[in-house]
Amino acid sequence: MGTISMTRNGSYIRMLCKAFVLVIFVSVLTAIASEKVYASNKLITDIYAEGKLGAAYDLYKQPLGTKNNQRVRATKQDYGKLYRLRSYVRIDNRISYKAYLHGKFQGYIDVRAFLYVQPVDSITALLLPSFISKTKNVYAEGTLAAAYDIYKYPVGTKKNQKIRGTRKDYGKVYRIRNIVNSETNTSYKVYLNGVYQGYIDYRALQKIKLINYKDKNVYAFGEYKNKAFGTGTFRIEKEVVNDLGSKYQINQNKKKTLVDQKSVEVIYTQQHEEKATGMRQIKNGNAFFYQVPVENTEMKGQQVKSYQNRYLNITAKAKVKGETWYRVWLNKHDGTKWTNPILGWIKESNTKPVNDTTKNYTLAFDVSEKSNQQGLTYHNGVYYVAFDLSREGYPNHSKIIAYNRNGVKLKETSPLPIGHGAELSFWKNKLYTTNGGGQEGAKVFVVDFEKNRVEDVIDLSRYGSSALATVKDDDTIIFHTAVDSNQGHTFSFVDRKGNLKKQFKIENAWVPQGIAYYNHTIYFYTNNLITKINENGQVIGQEYLAFKGESQGIEINKTNGKLIFGYNGTNRIYEQK
């Protein structure tokens, strides 16, 4: 009985031991399994940052979210102090920093404890913003310093696929396009030499450099290299660059599109421009001015036709697609000040050089009279010159002085009520003078110079103002009128009673200063410019004059057909050589 009892007891004890071992084994497996589940929800990312304490969260021995964690101490006494932060830890939804104070480890503290957190190194500068949204697009680059493998998906993804090792890439620079913070890992989406590689652990890269890939506003124009993509020019508004390539934001027909930079030929930037001076005239009246030196519909300005009789001043030039363009401006006075507006850009091929004939003329004589010199005429060796006396206290009055070829005064009239004395014309021993600019309508005064009196007044006010007149024959006066000095010119042929015979207009040639007629041609004198017009109203030629001062009065020596004209400022008379 005793033997049997002992045997049974021994078996029982052995069974208890086996059961105990099984329980321990199961407990260990459960603990291991629990640890795996626990670890799968834990993210630890090394950082180097500092934060200023602003809320009294307690310090703990382990990261927040750890089971059975132990409180280390309160932090109320640390308000305003600067902590060094060494790790970012996320366990489930609890986030904490590994914190140091005065170089000593303090514990783990809730991220909400800090007024602000600033990165100390470039890696942390890259990582910190990504913790907010768990994933963030970035533009950076880093040098491979540790041979972490590259994966198809963000590190920490279940059933991830390894793409390759990176040992051969030591020292190479990767482009970082995206940061992903999974439940357990932080990884970068990387490119090498512009080719996508996959995802790599953030610890693989050092010497992180943030790249400023902000969109850059540009002002340029381009066109497609391959015309199959489209024709015509377009505005380039932005340059968009990232590690995936370079693109332009273009605006074509008011539609904005991103296109590959390699597909675009940039034909104009402001660097194409250079300062320039000089003058040009319109050759092709059907052309247009443009805001930039590019034939682009949205940049098209006004047609140039209305300026075809003006000389245009150059302020800049540019060469675009092998063609030279000029930016031009116009001499213009609004009655109180010079405005000199920029008209825009025009192709050189639509212009022509100014016909500068200054060298063809010589000074006849300086005029000794200091009053405001105006119109002039010539007959049989005598120069008749009108002078406006408004500044001398005789408003709407002028006097006329006769000079010989040497500029010696022969005779002068008293102040006569002939207005501005804008122009003179000699016909059969009488001087025909006009009242010129201002609001008063056009009038022609017939003056007997020898008798010092006005014999007749021909009222042409119904035709306008800014009057200039010359006598064509016994029954025809040709006179000019204009709305103002910056608009077109009207030329009227009338009889001595003012009845209209014919009329035509030409585009603006600037401020009217004189008119003469000779051999079927009207010589219209504006500032520094003589415009020749036939009797049908066709401009047949122009001459530019580079003399100083204001142009005043023109005539032709009927015996030799040579031009005579005046300038004031310093009063003087020029003649054709």
| Cβ(51)–Cβ(81) below 8 Å | no
Please tell me what DSSP assigns to residue 283: S
pLDDT at 25: 40
pLDDT at 124: 87
| Cβ(142)–Cβ(209) below 8 Å | yes
pLDDT at 250: 95
Domain boundaries, the chain: 42-119, 126-210, 216-270, 276-353, 358-576
What letter represents residue 18's amino acid? K
pLDDT at 122: 83
Nearest to 528 by CA among 550, 553, 557: 550
pLDDT at 382: 98
pLDDT at 8: 44
- Name which CATH class applies to 42-119: mainly beta
Token readout for 528 is: 């520094």
pLDDT at 21: 40
E-strand spans in 231-360?
234-242, 245-252, 255-260, 264-269, 273-275, 279-282, 288-290, 300-303, 311-320, 323-329, 342-347, 351-353
Token readout for 87 is: 């790790």
pLDDT at 14: 52
d(CA 21, CA 63): 34
Architecture in CATH of 358-576? 6 Propeller (2.120)
pLDDT at 211: 78
- Residue 288's CB: how many other CB atoms inside 10 A? 18
What letter represents residue 219's amino acid? Y
d(CA 400, CA 373): 10
* pTM greater than 0.75 (yes/no): no
d(CA 250, CA 555): 58
What letter represents residue 81's amino acid? K
Q: What dotted CATH number matches 126-210? A: 2.30.30.170
Q: Comparing 42-119 with 126-210, is the CATH topology the same?
A: yes
Nearest to 542 by CA among 518, 554, 524, 563: 524
Cα Rg, the chain, nearest whole Å: 47
Instruction: Say whether domain 216-270 belongs to CATH 2.30.30.170.
Output: yes
Instruction: Say whether domain 276-353 belongs to CATH 2.30.30.170.
Output: yes
Residue ranges of the chain whose pLDDT lies below 50: 1-9, 12-13, 15-40
Which residue, chain included where needed, has tokens 């709305």? 483
pLDDT at 244: 58
Q: Give exposure, 302-314, as e/b (b: 16+ Cβ within 10 Å).
A: eebeebbbbbbbb
Token readout for 1 is: 């009985």
pLDDT at 26: 39
